[in-house]
Amino acid sequence: MTKIVLTYEDFFTIVEPDLLYLDNSRLRFISLRGIEGAPTLAVEIISRYSKQIDRRRKTALYAAHDVTWYWIVDPDARTIEAYRLDAGSYRLDAKLEGAEPRALSPFPDLPLEPATIWP
């Protein structure tokens, strides 16, 4: 798993999202220690054990460090919620649910097929 090092003044926090994406403008954040800065997208796959951490603590942490997009994948509900950072907090941008394919930002040309995601 890739570590993200998020820094604020003299303090830093290390998180390990389940998936992450860096656009070309953020490739400079890659170092031997991990990703030293905010990725474009962080993805967390929640479980009953991580639900509170991923929905509250990590949401606040990613917003404070300017992670533009945050997806929360809920296998039990069979949903993917795509949040966009707006003025320091996340707003739901789109939600993948049901059987219809749908693209989620920041990948508008990549429709996700629910039948291939959920067993």
Band of pLDDT at residue 96, cut at 50, 70 and 90:
very high
What percent of the chain shows pLDDT beyond 90?
Answer: 66
Residue 11, strand partner residues: 8
Q: What is the mean pLDDT of the chain?
A: 90
Whole-number Å distance between alpha carbons of 101 and 111: 6
- Residue 100 reports pLDDT greater than 80: yes
Band of pLDDT at residue 53, cut at 50, 70 and 90:
confident
Q: Is 93 exposed, middle or buried (0-12, 13-18, 19+ CB in 10 A)?
A: middle
Residue 67, strand partner residues: none
Domain around 109: 4-117
- Residue 9 reports pLDDT greater than 60: no
Pairing of strands 41-45, 69-74: parallel
- CATH number (domain holding residue 71): 3.90.1570.10
How many domains, in total, are found in the chain?
Answer: 1
The phi and psi torsions of 60 (rounded to 5 degrees) equal: -65, -40
The 3-state DSSP class for residue 58 equals helix
Average pLDDT over residues 79-92: 96
pTM over 0.75: yes
